[in-house]
Structure 1
Amino acid sequence: MQGYNVVMVFSPDTTRLLMCKRRKDPYKGLSNLVGGKIEKDEPGLEAAYRELQEETGISKEAITLLHVMDFTYYLQDCYVEVYAGRLKYEVCVSGDENELYWSELDFNFFDMSLYAGEGNIGHMFEQVKLSRAAILDHDHNND
């Protein structure tokens, strides 16, 4: 079974979410979260930090990621690990794979005409809101 990850990166003040506009299928032209493939025998958290660095230039030192949830798609023979974190400080993001941008949080992330993943981004966002204290409001100075 192939593993993938998605990473929800929030700005230091937690008012924005890092998104990308997909340049290729699936979901070409739709907004998505950053992430990618988990390599064989690679621990999930390491893969999340690696993909984040590769796709955005954000280093492990700039953010603490927490494992939020997983999705298993048995019929597609794959699973997705979801990570979230808040940047410790402002960073300049850059990547070649997709166009990166900071989104405000007052959008309907369930809108499948704008966002990839059949509503999963909305679901992930709502789960992060439910666990905000654990995910976004913890003390970054003790990381």
Structure 2
Amino acid sequence: MQGYNVLMIYNRNKDRLLMCKRLKDPYKGLNNLVGGKIEPGESGIDAAYRELFEETGIRREQIALRHLMDFKYYYQDCYVEVYAGKLRGEAEIAGDENELYWSGLEHDFFDMALFAGEGNIGHMIEQANMSGVLDD
């Protein structure tokens, strides 16, 4: 079963969420969170920090990621680990896989015409808020 991760990266004030505009399928043209594949033999948390650095340039020292939840897709033979974290300070973001930007939190993240993931982004944001995972 192939593993993937998705990363909810908030700025220090927790009023912006790091998003990307997908440049290729799946979800080409839609807004999404960053993330990627978990390599064979790699722990989920190590994969999360590796993907975060590869896709955004954010280093492990700049953020503490917390494992929030998982999704298991039996018919697609894969699972997704969801991590959330708040930056410790300012960070330069740079990546060439997708167009990166900081999004405000006022959007309807359940809107599947704008956001990838069949409403999962909205669900993950609600869970992060309810869990207090980003509280100091």
TM-score band, normalised by the shorter chain? over 0.9
RMSD between superposed Cα atoms in Å? 0.5
Identify, as 1 or 2, the structure richer in helix: 1
Equivalent position of 1:56 in the other structure: 56
Q: Which runs of 5+ in 2 are unaligned?
A: none
Residue 136 (str. 1) matches residue 134 (str. 2) = yes
- Runs of 4 or more, structure 1, over 6 Å off, are none
Q: TM-score normalised to the size of structure 2?
A: 0.99
Identify, as 1 or 2, the structure richer in strand: 2
User: What amino acid is the match of 2:114?
Assistant: L
Name the CA distance, whole Å, in 1 between partners of 2:73 and 2:109: 21
Equivalent position of 1:141 in the other structure: none
Name the CA distance, whole Å, in 2 between partners of 1:123 and 1:131: 12
Q: Shift of residue 43 of structure 1?
A: 0.2
Name the CA distance, whole Å, in 1 between partners of 2:129 and 2:26: 27
Q: TM-score normalised to the size of structure 1?
A: 0.94
User: 3-state DSSP class of the match of 1:58?
Assistant: coil
Q: Shift of residue 41 of structure 1?
A: 1.0
Name the CA distance, whole Å, in 2 between partners of 1:47 and 1:136: 20
Across the two proteins, how many residue pairs are aligned to each other? 136
